[in-house]
Amino acid sequence: MNFEKAASYWEEKDKTSVKMDRETLLQEADAFLTAHNTCALATGAGEFVRCTPIEYNWWEQKLWMLSEGGQKFRALRDNANVCAAVFDPYQGFGKLGGLQLTGRAELIEPWSEEYRAFLAYKKIPEQAPRGLDHPMYLIRVTPLEMELLNSDYQKKGFSTRQQLRFGE
């Protein structure tokens, strides 16, 4: 098995792909992430890896996730690099829709200004999480890169896979 050849498949294909302009691609990513609310969040540190299905909100161009806790925090303690996958239900090869977001996770301090602003955005009264016997942790993921896959892009004259990098 030639792992390098398999791993470089998309890099080679992207060299000749028809790309969307950045603004259109940002709008596509925003619409896709807003239309969904659950991702698979991959975390890892050392030999430990975890992939957690979790509800998210796409707000202020970041993923925000409230969590009661769990093993993902073992990895987040040592490694802030994460990957989140969001996808449409599979309906056949010609109807693909998905997005992979690679980014940096931060834990937002409970009851900080940012934490309370997110609760307000979600329309969650502060007394609701304050009444729990354990804190609700808030994870914020700032995207570094997104890869969008959508069969419909071909109908618009673009390649089905599009890449979006941030901070460039």
Q: CA–CA separation, 143 vs 26, rounded Å? A: 12
The 10s digit of each residue's pLDDT in 133-143 is 888 999 999 99
Q: Which two tokens stand for residue 154?
A: 């071909």
The 10s digit of each residue's pLDDT in 52-95 is 999 999 999 999 999 999 999 999 999 999 999 999 998 887 88
Q: CA–CA separation, 7 vs 14, rounded Å? A: 13
pTM: 0.92
Average pLDDT over residues 16-36: 96
Instruction: Compute how many other C-beta atoms are within 10 angstroms of the C-beta atom of residue 151.
Output: 15
CATH number at 3-165: 2.30.110.10
Q: Is 59 exposed, middle or buried (0-12, 13-18, 19+ CB in 10 A)?
A: middle
